[in-house]
Structure 1
C-alpha cells in the first residue's frame, strides 16, 4: 500500500437500530465516534421509529421472507424518518461534541446512485441496488478534506429524480470498497452483540479473529449460519476488494479503537 493511503486512515462505521433506539447508548457511541482520529463516515438505518410511525399512520408494514417491501407510502416514511428525524438528531449531537458532521442521503452531492431493484418473482418496490459505479469516492473525499464528517442514512437515488430505500449494511460496504482506493479503510459494523460468537447465547464465546480459511471451517461446522452469513460474506467481499479489515462488535466498545485496543471480531485476509 502506498504511503499516502497509510497516512490517510478512514473508518466507515455502520450503527444498527438498537443503538439508535436508545438515546443513552447513542450519546455514548457518538462521543466515542467523535474521538476517533482521522477521516470517518457514519452510516445508519432507522431502528424502530419508522415502524412506529407507520403504525401511527395506519400503514401496514409489508414483509416477504424478512425483507421490507417499500411501497410509496413506506418510502415517504423512511425518507422522513431516516433522512430527517434520525439523521438530523445524530448530526446535532455530533456538532455538540465538536464534530462538524453533515447529514446526507445518496442524492445529496450525487454521492450514491443506485438502480431500482428489478421485479422478478417479488416486487420489492422502491428499493435501490448498489453496483460498482454507485459511489462517488472522489466527491466524498473532497467533502472530508474540507473538514466535514459525512453521516449517510439508508436512502439513495436513481439519478432520475427517484429516491430509493437501500440496505444500510450494503451502503457501508459499498462506501468502504470505493474509498479503499483512496484511503487505508477499516469497515466497522456496530450492533448489540460482542461480535461473532461461537454460541449465540454466550457473550463470552467471542471469536476474535477470522480469516477466509477459518471462515470456511466455521460455516462447515454450522457455527456461523442464518443472518450472520450475508453480513460476513459481504465483509470478506469488501476485504477482497481492498478494504484493510472489517470489525464486527458491540457499539459500546468503539472507544477502544482510540487507544489502539481491539474489540469485537476482526476479519482480514490473514488473521
Structure 2
C-alpha cells in the first residue's frame, strides 16, 4: 500500500484542442509512478453525429444514446480519440494501453433503467464494476491504462458511461492495492471562490466547508456533481481528490479535497 496511484481525468475542453492536449500529455509523462488516464469525448462526437445527419441529444449534460448514437460515440471515443491519446503518450515515452470497459472485462456496467428519462444505451457503475486484478497487473507491468467512456454489460452490449464516474469508480476500486489520488483536470486552476476571478483558487476544501460553499452558491452548476462524486470517493477510501488545471498538474496551484 506504499505506492501512490494517480488517476487523471480530462474532459472535452482539453481534448478538443490538439495543442492543449499535447501540452497536457507532456505534463502527464513527467508524473512519476503508476498512473491511469480517463478521458471523455469532447465535441468531436457531436460534430460527427451532425455530419451524419443525427442530431445530438443532451439532457443535463448527459448524452441520450440511441443505437445509432452509440455506434458513433464508440467509434469516436474508443477509436479515434483513445488511440490518438495512446499514440501521443507513446511518443512521450509512456507505455500506454487504450481500453474500453469491454477489453479484458475491465469495467462492467448495467444499462441505466428508464425513469423520467430514457437515456438509451447508457451504463451505470457500482463498486463491483471494476476488474481490479487486471488493472493492478497492468500497472505493475509499468503500463499506463488509458480508459475511454465506453463500457459493456457482459452480455455483448456496449454502453456509453460518464467519464467522471469511471474515474471515481476506478479510484475507489483500487484503494485496496494503492494509496489513490484522483485528479480532475480542466481549464481552471482549481475551485474558485469567485467565478469571475481565475486567481481565487480555494486551496483546500473539507466536507463541512463544501456544504457551506454550496449553500452560499459559491460552488454551483456543473461543479456540484463533480465535487459530490469527489467527496463520495474520499468517503470510500480514496486518499485525496485534486481539482486542477490540466496544463499545471506538476505545479502547486490546485484545489485539494480532504476528508478532514
TM over 0.5: yes
Is 1:36 equivalent to 2:31 in the alignment?
yes
* Structure 2 gaps, min length 5: none
**Deviation of 1:136 (Å):** 1.1
Q: Which residue of the partner structure matches residue 269 of structure 1?
A: 259
Which SS does the other structure have where 2:250 is aligned?
helix
Aligned equivalents of 1:193 and 1:82: distance in 2?
A: 24
Aligned equivalents of 1:32 and 1:139: distance in 2?
A: 26
Aligned equivalents of 1:241 and 1:65: distance in 2?
A: 26
Is 1:87 equivalent to 2:77 in the alignment?
no
Q: Which residue of the partner structure matches residue 259 of structure 1?
A: none
What TM-score results when the alignment is normalised by the length of structure 1?
A: 0.94
* Structure 1 gaps, min length 5: 257-261
The counterpart of 2:195, out of the listed 197, 200, 204, is: 200
User: Any idea what the Cα deviations from partners look like across 1:105-138, whole Å, max 9, x if unmatched?
Assistant: 0000101000000111211000000011001111
Which SS does the other structure have where 1:254 is aligned?
coil
Is 1:108 equivalent to 2:103 in the alignment?
yes
Aligned equivalents of 1:65 and 1:209: distance in 2?
A: 28
User: How many residues are matched?
Assistant: 260
| More divergent stretch after superposition (219-228 vs 181-190) | 219-228
Which SS does the other structure have where 1:41 is aligned?
strand
Which SS does the other structure have where 2:164 is aligned?
helix
Is 1:26 equivalent to 2:21 in the alignment?
yes
Aligned equivalents of 2:49 and 2:34: distance in 1?
A: 36
Aligned equivalents of 1:226 and 1:20: distance in 2?
A: 22
Aligned equivalents of 2:210 and 2:86: distance in 1?
A: 36
Which SS does the other structure have where 1:25 is aligned?
helix
Q: Which residue of the partner structure matches residue 240 of structure 2?
A: 245
**Deviation of 1:56 (Å):** 0.6
Aligned equivalents of 2:181 and 2:238: distance in 1?
A: 6
Aligned CA-pair RMSD: 0.9
Which SS does the other structure have where 2:225 is aligned?
helix
Q: Which residue of the partner structure matches residue 114 of structure 2?
A: 119
What TM-score results when the alignment is normalised by the length of structure 2?
A: 0.98
Which SS does the other structure have where 2:249 is aligned?
helix
**Deviation of 1:263 (Å):** 2.6
Aligned equivalents of 1:55 and 1:220: distance in 2?
A: 39
| More divergent stretch after superposition (224-233 vs 127-136) | 224-233
Aligned equivalents of 2:92 and 2:61: distance in 1?
A: 37
Which SS does the other structure have where 2:35 is aligned?
strand
Q: Which residue of the partner structure matches residue 171 of structure 1?
A: 166
Which SS does the other structure have where 1:255 is aligned?
coil
Alpha carbons 2:13, 2:187 under 8 Å: kept: yes
Which SS does the other structure have where 2:243 is aligned?
strand
**Deviation of 1:42 (Å):** 0.2
Aligned equivalents of 1:235 and 1:67: distance in 2?
A: 18
